Structure formats: structure tokens, C-alpha cells
Structure 1
Amino acid sequence: MMGRAASPVFVGREIELEQLGEIFDQARKQAAAAVLVGGEAGVGKTRLVTRFAEQAAAGGAQVFAGGCVELSTEGLAYAPFTAVLRQLVRDMGAADVAALLPEGAGRDLARLLPEFGEPSGDVETDTARARLFEQILTLLERLAERRPMVLVIEDVHWADRSSRDLIAFLSRNVSAIPMLMVLTYRSDELHRTHPLRPVLAELTRVEGVVKVEVPRFTEDEVARQMAGILGTTPTYGRVSTIFDRSAGIPLFVEALLDCGTDGNLPESLHDLIIGQVERLPEETQRVLRIAAAGGNRIGHPLLCAVSGLSESDLEDAIRPAVARNVLQVADGGYTFRHALIREAVHDELLPGEHARLHARFAQEIDRDRALVPPGRAAIEIAHHWHSARDDLWALVSAWEASEKATKAFAYTEKVQLLERVLTLWDKVPDAAQRIGADHTTVLERASEGAYAAGDVDRALKYVKAALAELDDETAPERVAELLVRMASCKKQRGRAGAIDDLRRAERLVPLPSETRTLVLTRLGTLLIMADEIVEGTALTTEALRIAREMGDECREADLLMNLSLGHSINDDLEAALAVNARAQAIGTRLKSGRVVLRALANNVDALENLGRSEEAVALALEAEKLAREYGRYRNQGVFIANNRAEALESLGRWDEALDLINRSLMLDPSPLNRWHLLRVRIQIGMARGELEQTLADLTDVGALSGHTEEYTQERILNTRAALQWHLLTGNPETALTRAEEALNSWPLSRKPMLGWRLLATAYRVSDAALPISPNRAAALRARADEFRVTMQAKGPVGEAYERECHGEFDEAAALWAQLRRPYQRARNLLMAAHGRERDAMAVRLREAHALATGLRAAPLIDQIGALARRSGIALTDAPAETTALLTPREIEVLRLLTEGRSNRDIAQTLTISAKTASVHVSNILSKLSVSTRGEAAAAAHRLSLFN
């Protein structure tokens, strides 16, 4: 909206403004996360959001705003969040802002704003950026505790990868605080491959995220806009002409009005804008062209420096542009009223002028880096040299900016800058001397950045390229370190060959060194995970000796925990607990949150395998609280949450487990953490007969692919899930084939929740396959017997599974009762009921039915019911005909109905639609011959349907 053509009247948008207000009201009640405001360029998104923010502030809300900055293709890392932090520091002071965070956490914010001091020295790429995200979330939570908050982030179509990731993270995690994020973007710029598209698609699936599309004006709204601008009612003919030519886009309307009434109207928005600019004084136009090369926002001192004008001369030249509202005064500088205006002016630059101006910006910023906001100089210089097409300085500045990006955890931006260095390498003859690093080093840094950003495939590409330039004999340590990264990439992607890569690396560094310790640490871990425990333990012990000689206590703690992993897989769980406790003590002394959390996570798992599931849940909750305090929840906290979900699943607290899993998945965990979470959800999904979701999850983790995983845990968990799936879906022969492959080709871990649990499943496969393939089923049982004899269960969980394998189902059921694992007890009671006399069978089936009903384990309920019907046993005291009338799902709905739940509550609890819940309730009322929900509840109690 330019010059006198800017309407003083807020026209239209009543529906959108009301919608934003309603969403914010929900946010005040901690029920909303974000609103996505989309629309074409010039349609009025900023005007709408500004009006909403003004109303929110008038209502007592605190409003923070930041915008994404277009710098070529890479954007500016974390630009909107840096702007918000700067606003907070101005309002509160850096010390008061840091005081809102856990002790020492303000140092993480120093990576975005120097006012917070020196950044922390922790640069672990796998957790450091996640911790930064946690600190920003914590800061927003603390601010929102004071009063409701609105966070406006404009132009997210220009957002860099790091900002997009942080926006997605916050959108999934602010639903529990009275805060609303408002994100604006140009919908007309989202081409098929635009990086924002998948982010928007993901966000629209997050509960509480609402999409608002700002439409073009109607003809009536254009008339009202024109009346506000002109101060009088326009003629119908003029309204009609302006509406046709503007297509209802407010910015076009204003520009067209400013062209006059002679009817000679430009054909495009570019011409409209340039036509207005050309009516400004020549010196003003020159300064505008300079400003356009500097970006949408530019400081007054920087514009002085680049233009060569004195402050007074610059002010004289700028004043007409400000008066016409082409530029606006903001934060000690100037901003173009609309990005489209800057784009149009910038497009008018001649080629030579374009290169010369961008070079001037780069030179002036490099001469005095205080001319741009703190932390932006390197990326701005790199952008301007690149735009100036100066290969030498584009390469040098991109290298420097990549180092700055590393310190801010902007790993994707780091990779983009390094790719620019690689692209320009052959154009700069002395490139290596200019940056003080050879070509291979650039590839190494690019692989490091890509791996940290989670782009494993790109990391692998750069690792291979770097290895191709190195020789094992002349650079053994560099090759070894690259092989470690290659192995990590393969492990992340579930590809084979990681151990072979590490064996090669181990041969390259035979003498004690930091690199050998790194290699042995990783190789020992993967060998233990692959059930090569003896060799893995030996290598880990050697690495531990070297680490102690070097005085590297953090490495020592990690290696101790690697040894405990071997104890765990070997079912020496008490030893695992003790070793993890030693590692935790080291981490506590060194104040290493990473080490402490890893030790706690391992012990949660050990407690679960020892049958101490309730202790495991309690310890996990304590550890998750610490993970939040350390700013490590998104990575290590999610891993611990998965261990808690496993314990909750064992205890039959399935709804809690599913809620935890689904919340953890919203944090966009690493692929390995995601697969772990899905495997727990698979167990609950199959037990409840939820086939569609379970099949999707099984496909996601690769359990049905036929591929054999290299590592013990993934291999066993996926195999067991596949066996259960084939049994559940009526394919015992397929299950038999998969079980044969498993027991004939690799050893079993003695760990109860791995090897023993798989072995018990193999016996069930043998039983199910016996009628169709008796010889193969008998052979499978014989092979399982061989394993059982050698495994020797040490704890109560392994003993309970061993009883199952022996066919001692009553004894197993008793052990599961002691361990408070209801599903396993119900399943064993069902097995124990087979072949019993009628009264003994009835006792077992009725208890099993009650347990299965409480868990909503539909397939097990059906199996119990089928045996009861064949044996003429009533599972409850209710008349048989009444029980038979209701399906298992209707029994579940009736149980919730008797608790006074609404249809909406029932739908959420059972993960069905409210409409489906309503249908179930209507069927129940009909079958019980009652007319109200209260009468249905009374009938359920009278008939003892749940006893």
C-alpha cells in the first residue's frame, strides 16, 4: 500500500479477523498451536495480521513479531527468532531473559544473539541444535505463563531450513500453553518443489493448527477501499475498471489509484510499482535502487556507507520515498512497505549496476560489521559477493559464513554455503590457499553438516567423495574418521556394511590415539548390538583403557555404558545397572547432561527387563524431567519416553503409552527413535486388532519387508512383530517360514524382552501351524527347544516366558500376575483353560475375559469368547443372550458410557470418530431395550456386564 493510496480504513477481512480472534481465544485456554495465514502477494496478509496483533495487545496479550529474510536461496538462519530475542532484550534486558531459562541455558541463545555472552562449548551435533530448540520453547513457555502471547512470523516462504524446523517443532509443542503462533506466507509462490510445502502439509495435520486463506477483495470491498483512500465515494465505472484491472488484490488497487484517472493503466504489477517510483525525484530513485540491493530492511548507517551520501543528504533523498510510503522508518533504518516493491525496484537494476551495488554492500559490511545486526555480517557478506558474481570473494565469504552457521546450529545453511564453495572451487585457482583448507576438508565439513542436519543421504555422498580424494597410507586418521561417519550414516538408514567400514577404520589406526578410541567405541558398540558380544566387549575394553590414559572421562563414561549394553543383551541386568550407575556418577560430576541421561535411559530399560516395570516408569519420568531441564528432550528425552512407553505397555496402561508415543512422534524424532516408538504402538495395535494403523507402522519399520536387520534389537523386534501379524491375519504358514528363518540363521539374545519374548512367540507359531504343516511345525518346536535349553532365564520375566515355552501356562500366568502384566496373564489363562474340565475352564476364561476387556484387546476377547461358547460357559453373570447381543466394541463403548463419558470423550478414548461413537451408543440403547444413556448404564450394572 503505497503513498497516499494507503487506505486509512480497514476494509473487509471481518471473517478472517474474527477467525483469528476465535483461535486466540482457544490458545488462551491452552487448546491451539498455530494459525497459517496464506494468500497471494499483495492481498493484505500483513494488514490483517497487524490489525489482529493490535487487538490482541489491546486485550492484554504480549505480542512478538519477526520476519523471514530473503537472501538469495539460502535465507538467513533463525532470522525471525533472532528478531524476537532482540525485542525481548530491548524490553527486559538479556539478564532477565536468561533468568527465565534453566541455569546456564542462556549461553545457548548466545548463538543467535551476542547479548547472552559466549556460546556454550557443547557442539555435539546430534543434540546441540535440539537443545537450542528446547531452550526457545522453554523461553516461550515461561513468557506465556505471565500472560497470553502472540508470536507473529511473517514471510515463512523465505524461511531458511533451520527456521522451518524450529517453526515445525514449536507448532507441535506449544499446544499446552496460552500462546498462538501466526505464520504468514505467499501461497502463490509455493511451487511443487518449494521447501515450505512439506512443512505446511505436516503442520496442517497437527492438532490445533488452523489454516486461514486470505482471499482477494470482492468488488464491493474494492469500492470501500477506494472510498477510504479517496475520501469520497468513487463512481461505479471507476470501481468497475479498478476492480477488473486489480483482480481484487488490494496492493494493485492502491497502485492503480495512484496512477491517476487518465485510463492509461500499466499492464502488470511491476509496471504499476515502477511507475510510481519513477515519479519520485531522480536522487530518491537512485537511493531506492541501492536500498533494494541491500534487502527488504536496511540500516541508515549502512545505506549512508554504500550510497556515499552524507547523513543529511541521505535524509533529503529518502524523505520523498518515506512520504509516499514506498519506504517506512523502522528500527534505526528503513524497510520497504511491501516486499513486492523491493523486488520490482531490484529487478530494474542493470547488470553492471547489480554487480557493483552488491559488491559495495559486501565491502562496507566487511569493513564495519556493526553496520548489520549482530550475527548477520558473515551471511550478508556471502550473499552480496555471490550476487555480485565475484567468484573469489563469493568462495571466501561462503567459507567464513559456513563456520558461523555451524556455531548457530544452522547445519542446512552450512551445507548450502559449502556447496557454493565446491561449485566455485575450480573457478578460483588458489582456492585452498584463500580459505586455508583443501578440497577434501570442504567435503568433510559438508558431510558433517549434512549428517547433523539429518540429511543422511547427502552426508553419505560427501563422505564417499572425500574418501575418493584420500589415500589410506598418507591420511589414515582422516580416512578412519570418515569411515566412522559412513558407518553412522548406514546405521541411521538401516543399511548393511557399517561394521565392515569400522573394521577397515580400525586397521588404519593401530596405535593408541583419540581417533582409534573413536573407532573402537563405535565398532565395539555395533558388534555388541549385532550379538558379537565377546569381540565387542574386548574392543570396548581397549578403548576404555586408552580413554583413561588420555584422561577423557566423558569417553570413559560412554564406554562403560557400552559395556553395560553387552551385560544387558546377555541378560546380566544387575551388572548393567551397576555399570550404568558408575557412568551416571561420572556424568553428574562432569555436569554432562548427555551422559547422565544415557545412563538413566539404560537403567529404565534394565528395570523393565527385570520385571520392575513400575520402577522403570518412575525412573523414566524423573529422567524425562531432567531431559527438559538439560534442553535435551527432543533427542534423549524421546528415547527415554520410548522406554517408558514399553514399561507402560507391559503394565497394561495402553492408553497412557499411546498418548506418550503420539506426543513423542510429534517431536519429529530421529529415524531410530521413531522406529522404536512405532514398535511399541505396533504391539498395542495388534493386541487391540487395529489393523490399518498397525500395517502402516509395520511397513514404516520394515518388519514385513523380508530384510534381516544387522543388529540384534531391531532384528528380534521386527521378526516378532511380523510373526504376530501373520498369526493375527490368519497366515500361520507365512509365520512359520519367518520363524524358521529366524531360529535357523542367527542366535537369540538372552535378554528377556528380546530373546525370551521371541522364543515364546515361536512356540505359538508352531502351535498355530501344526494343523497345516505338522512336520515343519514339529521341527520348529524342536529348534526352539534347543534354544530354550541353552538360554537359562535369570530373572522373573525370563522365567515367565520360559514357563510359557514349557507349556506351563498356569504357572506363567501366576508369574505375570506378580509382575502386574495383565495382557500376558490373560493370554496364558486362555491357554491354560484349554483341555480343562468345565468349572476350571470357566474360572480361567472369566478372569482372562475381564482382563482383556479392561485392555480393549479385541482379538483376545474374541478368542476367549469363542472357547467359552464352544464350552457353554457364560463369561459374566449376565444372561447369555444379553452378552451375545453386544459386540466387543459395543462392550467397550458401554463401559465408557457408564462412566458418564460423552460421545466425544468416547471417540477420543477409542480413537474413533464422534459419529461412529454415536452409532455405537444408539445400537446399545436398542439392544438393551432402553431409551436413555442413564438407563443403559443402570442395565449394565444390573446385568453385571463388567464383573
Structure 2
Amino acid sequence: MLADMVARAVSPVFVGRERELADLTEAFGQARKDAAVTVLLGGEAGVGKSRLIGCFAERATADGAHVLNGGCVELSTEGLAYAPFTAAIRQLVRELGADGVAALLPEGGARDLARLLPEFGEPSGDTESDTARARLFEQILTLLERLAERHPVILLVEDVHWADSSSRDLIAFLSRNLHTAPVLMVLTYRSDELHRQHPLRPVLAELGRLDDVVRIDLPRLTRDEVAAQMAGILGTTPEFVQVSRIFQRSEGIPLFVEALMECGGDSGFPSSLHDLIIGSVERLPEETQRVLRVAAAGGNRVGHALLAAVSGLSDVDLDDALRTAIAANVLQVADGHDYLFRHALIREAVHDELLPGEHVRLHARFAEEIGRDRTLVPPGRAAIEIAHHWYSARDDLWALISAWEAAGKAARSFAYNEMMQLLERVLTLWCKIPDAAERIGVDHTTVLEHAAEAASACGEVDRGSRFVTAALDELDERAEPARVADLVVRRAQFKKARRRPGVLDDLRYAERLVPGPGLERAEVLSTLGSYLMFSGELAEGTAVTEEALRIAREHGEESLEAELLLNLAVGHSIAGRLDITIALNKTAQAIGERVGSGRNVLRAIANNVDALNNIGRSTEAIELALEGERLAREYGRYRVQGTFIATNRAEALEALGRFDEAAGLVDQILAMGPSLRTRHHLRRIHGDVAVARGEAGVLRSVLNEVGGFAAVPEEFMQELTANVRLQIGLHMLEGEPLAALEAAERVTREARITSKPMLGWRVLGLLGGVCEATEDLAPDRASALRAQVTRASNAMTVDSPVAEAYRLGLARDHDAAAAAWERLGRPFLRARSLFHAGLAAAGAGDRDGAADRLRTAYPIAVSLSARPLATRMEALARRIGIFLVDRPGNGESPLTPRELEVLRLVTLGRSNREVAAELFISAKTVSVHVSNILGKLGVSTRGEAAAVAHRLTLIA
């Protein structure tokens, strides 16, 4: 049998690579400890990457690993999406059966995989571009995690320099999210092909920044290793002169060593590497060479039946021709029915030898035969294979037709980048085919519309804008107003993504184009209403959304009804009507459950987590968020919507003063690569924690990343108020109260911020603090700001305990505010209110009252690591001469053991540097301890601290 033939020019001995094998083995060992690892294995073409990972895989399999193989092919760059992952999943189907693979996924999850392999039945009905592809990624991640619960998994993805855009995205996604599962992913690529504009370069750069990614560069063989390779091939020790010549000519590349050995070693060295590689082919019989040229046109791997059909040879004649190629190690047999070139360089060299006419004829034959019988190629590949071959055959008509079909196939697999590339091919060929519209059944404008949709889905905003502009130029709004309206809405979305003006103008224009009470109008109004509400225009946004809701109900469109109810709930939330918000979200959730829309169910839960937190029921919000995250995993939507719910949970944790938990959750979600808007939301939570803890550097980096210093302010209310809040916080941290005052004055000129209760009360509370901080520095300006803040607060509704607590603080009833914050379980805001109450008591001469409030607040601030607030309390305590802790009367010390050690040395007159040397800590740490000691003892100097220490017998 052909499969039993053994090559004679490959060394049976694995030469060198001990260090690289050790690195791979170490990475696998780390992965087995439930810490997933990605290895980037780079090297020149022919340097032995495949041989290395093959040897490693054999050893790992013997050690209990489950090895999955996936390889990229050149065809991937033309639109063959997810090729390596399809291959790996198909291997699993062969091993476990389709039902066995489906059993590893959440209920219904296999329907997402059906978009890659028909073995899993009909695909899911979810076609929303913003969630469907993420669901597919989620299912593949889950599949690897569940598989790894049985045995450690090694996923080998070769030749990622040929990977399609979707595969590159999926590789990056898995590398970011496979954290705890025992999975090792090994990616090989040709380092010599990565030119500056190669699309893999940014992916490698991104992966290189991750902690669990290892880079291995495979070098050429040394002279001794070449000698060992030659000895393995020859079965005896080669002569010194022969080794020297082959090492010099091959430059240590194993593939070239093998080819040179095929040439005879001592003589006849080809003049170029191409000639060297093709030389082993040219020594084969002419019929074998012809078959190899046919195979090369088919790609690096081609099936027996397809090769027979294209070559026109009988099975016997084909076997005879192939037998010689396999014996010469030009071809290898894979899976018993496919043939693949031993190395891609050999296939490339043979393909390059095709004459122009031969090139056209062979690719046309492949297209014809696959079109006649699509089972000649693996399931799911026929459309793109046909498109590739017709395009390579330079047949413009069939290249256009097949590219259109392949684009539809890419869309069903959520391979939007590949879809866009294929549609661009259709657009390029269009002018060459007079009856192109009749041939594919759609007009030129429709192709542009689909291209714009694909561009939007894969984030190609600039290209998408060009497609929309071109499509609009071809349409008459009087003849097709609904079609124009849809494109204008798309244009508005592109403008919003590019932060360009004119978004609202476009949406209003689209609304005028569809005046009738049809679903086209409802869709436009849905987008317009949402934009208006998020921009702060609540009254109009609500009216527009309610009109759309009436239309949706009249047409029985329950999914759209749920979307619009959720939009209405957002408007009521911004307006401070949180009870109505919660009720609307629950109604939308019930509809989502009834129609099977996980997207609407999760969006409703996310919105109610936010509403509960804003109403002061933060603990309840956290419990609901955890339930929502559980459902998101069940729906396979965790990294789409579950992360958003988790973001709202992080906000609730921050509100409750659980800063470490909030920051940890934020980091966890950021590692999953969320959408840009979600990322900015998460980073702003980092910023809020940084304000409380005095981390000015972190806060500045957050503001830089989210555009908080941008000349053009943020359009959306939530983002705008958060940016303002963080800006003022940074000024206060950096000791710039007048700069904070200037920022606060700008805020009051932005009426949208101070007129919406849900967003406004927190800002007004912050502005009240700025007034108090600057009333001695700039009394007139602070007074004017206070008056504006008072007017704004009087105009806002108070229908929640949170709003009431902020109102009490603005009214300077700080004791009542502190009590309100205590009832709400918000310790940081309670401590801050107590500080202001203590400050007021001290100003009124009530020293004992100030002491009581500060002594209650200070331990809270310290426990939260809220250093700026604790420092202000320490300063006030020193000024009025009080302790921040009760005087010890029972032998207990207010100081920690380490602080007592520092105090003992301070009382002996030691400097910070001397204390540091004696206690083996840094001088900076000593300084922090001294500052804490002064604050706790209510003194301002080291001498006073020593006196208090002796008086209270704090030290022996």
C-alpha cells in the first residue's frame, strides 16, 4: 500500500533540538498545573518546526496528553476561515463522535459549531453580528476546557503565517482566556515571511505581552548537528569534506540538507535554492512529475478521489505515478486517503514551475470537478475552494459567481473579514461582467450593503464608511427610501465609532425617510431613541422609543418589543425613576425568556444589576449579577454579555467599599479582551478605586486611555459624567484644588450632567466637596459654585436612598448623610461624611464631637487603604490635638507591632535611614510608618510622638 512506503532521505534519528524540546516540555508541565500556556514557535522555512513539534507530540501523547492537530493553508488568506480549528474539531469528531463532542458543550452549544462542521446539524438561529461570532469563540473555548478536564490538551496550530483573520482573532481570544485549564497551544510560523505589514505581526506582539506566552525561536543546525543528520540518512558516518560542503551549502537548514543528500552530496550542487528543491522532483519519471504538478495546483494537501478526477488517470495509473513520489519523499500519505507534500516549500517550487496555460487549465479543472462533486473536499470547504480555483484560473465570470457564494458561506461562519475580502473581489470583477447582476441575483448596491455590514462586524470602520458612501451614491431616496434610511443609519454608526460629527443629523434624516408606521420606521426609531437617551435628551428619546414600541406591538414583533422596553428602561434609569426601570427590565426579560432570546434576557439582567446598585441595593445587585453570569455561561454568551454583567457587579463591589474585589474582578474581565466600550467602563472603575486610594498615576493612565483629556467631550452621558468625576478626583489628589474648582465650574455649564438624577447626584456630591475644599482659597467662586449646585439639586428628584444620602451631604447635614451611607453599607462614603461632620464640629469648637466622628471614621479609611482621606483625618486630628484611636486603658496599643518597633527607635533619636537599616526595610517604608504613627497619636512631630509613647507606656 502507498501508506506503508517509507522515505529514504529523512533521518530516522531526531537530531539536536534538545533545548527546544526541553522548553516545550517545561511549557507542557506548566500547563498541566492548570495554568494554560501558549508557545510561539518561529523559524525559517525548512528549519524543522514540524519535525520538532511532531517529536514533542509523540512524547506528550505517551505522557497522557490529548493532542489535537490543526494547520493553516495558503488558501486561508483567500477566505478559508477557521481552517486549523475546523481540522482539530473534525479530529475530535473522528475520536469521540459528533454526539460525544456535543456532550462537552452547554445545551445547544453544538449548533454553533455547526457553522464550521455540518456533522453538528443545523446552525443556531443567532445571526447578530455583535454576539454570534463571540458565541462561536465561547463554544470553542468551552470545548477545550471541558476536554482538558479528562486529559491535558495540546493544540498544535501550524503555519499561522497563513492564518485567516478569523483564526488569528480566535487564537488571540484563546490565548487571553485559557487561564486555568491544562491546555498547551503551540503555534508555528515562518519567521522569514513576516514582512513589516504582515497581519500576523500585531497578533504576535499582543500575545508576547501576556504572562503565559512563551516564545521559542528555532535556529539552524550547527555543523555537528548537520553531520548527525547526514549520518542518520546514510546509516554511516559521513566524510569530513562531504559534511563541510553540505553544511556550507545548506546553511544548516534541515530540509536543504535532505535535498542536497538527494543530489548526491559531493557534486552537482544546484545554483539556487529553488533548483535545489525542484531537483528531487525533476529526477522522477515524467508521469509522476505531471501528477505532482496537478497536485500542487490543488494545494499542500489533496484527496485521492479529487486528484484522480482532475488528472484523468485511472486508480492504477495514479497509484503507479504516486508511488515513486512517495518513495522519493516528495509526497506523504495522510489519513489513508489524502496526499500532502512533505514540505510546503516543495509544493511551492512545483507550483512555480507551471506554465501559464497549464496554471489556468489545472485550476479550472479543480474548480469544475469540485463544483461537480463537492464531497471531493472536506465538508464546508467546497465554496471557498471553488472560488480560489476560478480566481486562479483567471475566469472572471466564474470567479465573480463563486466569490459571491463563498462570501455567503463566510457570513454563515461569522468570518466577516473573509466575507468582506470576497465581496471586494466581487466588486473588483463587476465591471468585467456585463450581466453581473443577473449572474448572482443581486445588484451592485446590494453587494456594497453586504460589504458594509461585514466591515462593521469586523471593525473595519473606514472601509465600511466607503462602502456605505458608494451605496448611497447609487440610490434614489424617492424610489427606495427605506433602503436609503438603513444605509444612513449604518453611516451614523460608523461616524459614532470614528467620533465624527453628524451622527444625530443622520439619524434624524433616516427617520424622515420612513414616515409610515412600518417596521422600517420602528428600526430607525429604535436607534434614534437610544442615541438621544444616552446623549441626555430624555424627553425626545423616550417619545421616539414609545412610538417605535407601538409599531412593534402592532406587528407582533416581540424581540423588537423587548429591545425597545430595555431602551425605555435606560431612559427612566437616567431620569432617576428606578422602580419603573426595574419593572420594565423584568417585562423585557420575560419576553426574552418566552421567545428564547438569551441576548434580551441577559441585557435585562445587566440593566437591573445597574439599577439595583443605583437605588442602594448593592448586595442584591451582586447576587443578581452572579445569577446573570451563570446564565451567560449557560447561553454561551459570557464573553459577550456576561462580562458586561460582571462589570456592573464590579461597580457594586466598588460602591460597597470592597475595593480589592472590584479591582480584581476588573482585571479578570480585562484579560478576556472585552469590547472597547466595556474596556473603558472597566478602566473607569479602576479610576474610582484609584481616587479613593490616592493612586494618581493609575488615575492619570485611566483618563488617558478613555479619552478623559480629549478636546472633544464624550457624547454619552454615562461616560461624560464618569470622565468629569475622575478629572476632578485627579486634581484633588495632585493638590490642585483650584484646578478642580475650574473643572467643576465647567461641569455646571454642561446642563446635561447636573439635570439627570441617576448620573447627576454623584457628580453634585463631588462638586459639593470641591466647594468645601476651595471656600477659603477662592470664596467668591466657591460660593457661586455652591449656589449653582444647590439650584441643580433642588431641580432633581429624590426617589432613592442613594439620592437622599447625596442630598443630605449637599445640605451639609453630614451626620445624617453618614447615617444614610451606613444603612446602605457604603463605608467609604460614610467615612467621608463623618470626616466632614468632624471638620464642622471642630470649626464650631466641639473638640470632643470632632474626636468621636474622626475616631469612628479613621479605622474605616485605613481598612479601605483610602490614604488621602486618612491623611486629611490625621491632619485634622493633629490640628485640634486629639487621638484618632481611643487612649489605651486596658493595655492595648493603638499601634501595630511594626509601628511600635519604629516608634521605639524614633524615641531613641534614630533617623529614618537608621531605622530602615536596623529593621531591614526601606527608608520610604519607615516614612509611611512614621506618618501613620503621628496620625494615630494625634501629634505633628517625632518629639511629640516620643513624649506620648512614654506617657502612655506604649513602649518598654
Using structure 2 for the length normalisation, give the TM-score: 0.91
Deviations 1:523-559 (A, max 9, x none): 1111121222221111111111111111111111111
Could you tell which deviates more after superposition, 485-494 or 387-396?
485-494
The aligned length equals: 903
Equivalent residues of 1:484, 1:505 under 8 A apart: yes
1:230-309 counterparts in 2 under 5 A? 230-309=234-313
Which of 509, 522, 525 is 2:527 aligned to?
522
d(CA) in 1 for partners of 2:953, 2:597: 56
Equivalent residues of 1:609, 1:751 under 8 A apart: no
Counterpart residue number, 2:946 = none
d(CA) in 2 for partners of 1:637, 1:927: 42
d(CA) in 2 for partners of 1:320, 1:92: 36
Equivalent residues of 2:576, 2:797 under 8 A apart: no
Deviations 1:857-890 (A, max 9, x none): 2333333333334344444544699759979xxx
Counterpart residue number, 1:484 = 489
d(CA) in 2 for partners of 1:144, 1:511: 56
Could you tell which deviates more after superposition, 312-321 or 846-855?
846-855
Q: Does 1:714 align with 2:723?
A: no
Counterpart residue number, 1:664 = 669
Counterpart residue number, 1:95 = 99
Note the residue ranges of structure 2 that are not aligned, 5 or more in a row. Answer: 886-892, 904-918, 931-951
Q: Does 1:827 align with 2:827?
A: no
Counterpart residue number, 1:861 = 870
Q: Does 1:814 align with 2:823?
A: no
SS at match of 1:290: helix
Q: Does 1:849 align with 2:858?
A: yes
SS at match of 2:643: helix
Shift of 1:772: 4.4
d(CA) in 2 for partners of 1:858, 1:706: 31
Q: Does 1:607 align with 2:612?
A: yes
Deviations 1:55-90 (A, max 9, x none): 111011111111011117335201111111111111
SS at match of 1:656: helix
Structure 1 pair 433–920 and aligned structure 2 pair: CA distance change class (3 A): farther
Shift of 1:833: 2.2
Structure 1 pair 96–806 and aligned structure 2 pair: CA distance change class (3 A): same
Equivalent residues of 1:492, 1:672 under 8 A apart: no
Shift of 1:226: 1.6
Q: Does 1:32 align with 2:36?
A: yes
Deviations 1:806-836 (A, max 9, x none): 2222222222122111221222222222242
Deviations 1:895-944 (A, max 9, x none): xxxxxxxxxxxxxxxxxxxxxx996599669989xxxxxxxxxxxxxx99
d(CA) in 2 for partners of 1:922, 1:794: 48
Equivalent residues of 1:770, 1:777 under 8 A apart: yes
Structure 1 pair 451–169 and aligned structure 2 pair: CA distance change class (3 A): same
Counterpart residue number, 2:914 = none
Equivalent residues of 1:750, 1:793 under 8 A apart: no
Counterpart residue number, 2:87 = 83
Counterpart residue number, 2:910 = none
Deviations 1:619-666 (A, max 9, x none): 111101111111111111111111011001111222222222122122
Q: Which amino acid aligns with 2:162?
A: W
Structure 1 pair 753–44 and aligned structure 2 pair: CA distance change class (3 A): farther
Q: Which amino acid aligns with 2:431?
A: D
Counterpart residue number, 2:206 = 202
d(CA) in 1 for partners of 2:803, 2:872: 25
SS at match of 2:149: helix
Q: Which amino acid aligns with 1:490?
A: K
Counterpart residue number, 1:703 = 708
1:189-588 counterparts in 2 under 5 A? 189-331=193-335, 332-588=337-593
Q: Does 1:785 align with 2:790?
A: yes
Equivalent residues of 2:573, 2:758 under 8 A apart: no
Counterpart residue number, 2:646 = 641
Q: Does 1:756 align with 2:761?
A: yes
Equivalent residues of 2:754, 2:792 under 8 A apart: no
Note the residue ranges of structure 1 that are not aligned, 5 or more in a row. Answer: 888-916, 929-942
Counterpart residue number, 1:890 = none
d(CA) in 2 for partners of 1:731, 1:466: 52
Deviations 1:725-752 (A, max 9, x none): 2222233333333322221132336665
Equivalent residues of 1:68, 1:76 under 8 A apart: no
d(CA) in 1 for partners of 2:285, 2:480: 63
d(CA) in 2 for partners of 1:508, 1:721: 41
Equivalent residues of 1:33, 1:173 under 8 A apart: no
Could you tell which deviates more after superposition, 736-745 or 177-186?
736-745
Counterpart residue number, 1:60 = 64
Shift of 1:227: 1.5
d(CA) in 1 for partners of 2:61, 2:230: 29
Deviations 1:151-206 (A, max 9, x none): 11111111101111111111111111111111111111111111111111111222
SS at match of 2:78: coil
d(CA) in 1 for partners of 2:814, 2:401: 72
Counterpart residue number, 2:935 = none
Could you tell which deviates more after superposition, 729-738 or 43-52?
729-738
Equivalent residues of 1:525, 1:536 under 8 A apart: yes
d(CA) in 2 for partners of 1:318, 1:95: 37
Shift of 1:363: 1.3
Equivalent residues of 2:367, 2:389 under 8 A apart: yes
Could you tell which deviates more after superposition, 44-53 or 259-268?
259-268
Counterpart residue number, 2:735 = 730
SS at match of 1:5: coil
Shift of 1:803: 1.7
Shift of 1:237: 2.5
Equivalent residues of 2:680, 2:705 under 8 A apart: yes
Q: Which amino acid aligns with 2:73?
A: V
Q: Does 1:629 align with 2:638?
A: no
Equivalent residues of 1:67, 1:79 under 8 A apart: yes
d(CA) in 2 for partners of 1:529, 1:944: 61
d(CA) in 2 for partners of 1:920, 1:242: 60
Equivalent residues of 1:2, 1:326 under 8 A apart: no
Equivalent residues of 1:13, 1:48 under 8 A apart: yes
Which of 69, 73, 88 is 2:77 aligned to?
73
Structure 1 pair 192–769 and aligned structure 2 pair: CA distance change class (3 A): farther
SS at match of 2:431: helix
Equivalent residues of 1:874, 1:880 under 8 A apart: no
Shift of 1:115: 0.8
Task: Compute the RMSD of aligned alpha carbons.
Answer: 2.5
Counterpart residue number, 1:904 = none
SS at match of 1:124: coil
Q: Which amino acid aligns with 1:748?
A: I
d(CA) in 2 for partners of 1:11, 1:834: 77
d(CA) in 2 for partners of 1:886, 1:53: 58
Equivalent residues of 2:161, 2:194 under 8 A apart: yes
**Higher alpha-carbon Rg:** 2
Q: Which amino acid aligns with 2:865?
A: R
Shift of 1:610: 0.8
Instruction: Among all aligned residue pairs of Structure 1 and Structure 2, give the percentage whose two residues are the same amino acid.
Output: 62
SS at match of 1:257: helix
d(CA) in 1 for partners of 2:57, 2:222: 24
Structure 1 pair 842–16 and aligned structure 2 pair: CA distance change class (3 A): farther
d(CA) in 1 for partners of 2:193, 2:377: 28
Deviations 1:736-771 (A, max 9, x none): 333222211323366655210111112223333444
Equivalent residues of 2:280, 2:328 under 8 A apart: no
d(CA) in 1 for partners of 2:374, 2:402: 13
d(CA) in 1 for partners of 2:69, 2:800: 57
d(CA) in 1 for partners of 2:796, 2:255: 76
Shift of 1:609: 0.3
Q: Which amino acid aligns with 1:313?
A: D
SS at match of 2:75: coil
Counterpart residue number, 2:944 = none
